Chain A
């Protein structure tokens, strides 16, 4: 298995533009997590899904952020409009069941200028 796959690896965009980050889960996994890493706050959980259903989005910073799971193997995190303070590394992770550790993708480094 290729593991959790995120795209793009790097994204540079102008303030005000829409940004979409993508994540493909490991086959057979049914939980999906989006994390954000910044120098100031470290790794923070933004939202997680279980069986395609959003369970907890309390970590999503603002209404500008939204996440979807259109099917069991794929998720998107959208920021509209983007702002410079959204610059961070965004990680997607998946797990197989309630007793498994989460496996992380390689992350998307987002820079908003």
Chain B
């Protein structure tokens, strides 16, 4: 049973527009959430995180929103750039920063079209 779900295997967005990637979770014990980006033949790279005590965290073009009551988070990328084309993984942990390991979604392949 998947505890972290990314229901869109792929998403295509035009360059310059906003990309919105969604993630749902089922385990109410999760209290720290992260987004990772992965290029082919490379390991996942940390992008941005959010603690359950917040509902928004922003870092440059990347913003993560958390709705605890709905057990839903989203990653917004604006404006989208060609280099953003990658697979994005949502991850969750019961402790801050994933010190006890991360539970990952299956990923969303984001394609930025020129």
A residues sitting closer than 8 Å to B (CB atoms) are 4, 31, 33, 35, 42-45, 48, 50, 55-56, 59, 91, 93, 95, 97-107
Do A91 and B44 touch across chains, with their CB atoms under 8 A apart?
A: yes
Q: How large is the interface on B (under 10, 10 to 19, 20 to 34, 35 or more residues)?
A: 20 to 34
Chain B residue, CB-CB nearest to A98: B99
> Hey, which chain B residues are within 8 Å of A102, CB to CB?
46, 97-98, 102
**Does residue B53 face the partner (Cβ distance < 8 Å to A)?**
no
Do B101 and A104 touch across chains, with their CB atoms under 8 A apart?
A: no
Do A55 and B100 touch across chains, with their CB atoms under 8 A apart?
A: yes
> Hey, which chain A residues are within 8 Å of B44, CB to CB?
43, 91, 104
Do B100 and A101 touch across chains, with their CB atoms under 8 A apart?
A: no
Do A101 and B106 touch across chains, with their CB atoms under 8 A apart?
A: no
> Hey, which chain B residues are within 8 Å of A106, CB to CB?
41-43
> Cα distance A102–B103 when bound, in Å?
12
Chain A residue, CB-CB nearest to B36: A104
Do B99 and A43 touch across chains, with their CB atoms under 8 A apart?
A: no
> Cα distance A32–B34 when bound, in Å?
18
> Hey, which chain B residues are within 8 Å of A31, CB to CB?
99
12 A-B pairs (CB sep. < 8 Å)? A35-B104, A45-B101, A50-B99, A93-B43, A97-B99, A98-B97, A100-B99, A101-B98, A102-B46, A102-B98, A104-B43, A106-B42
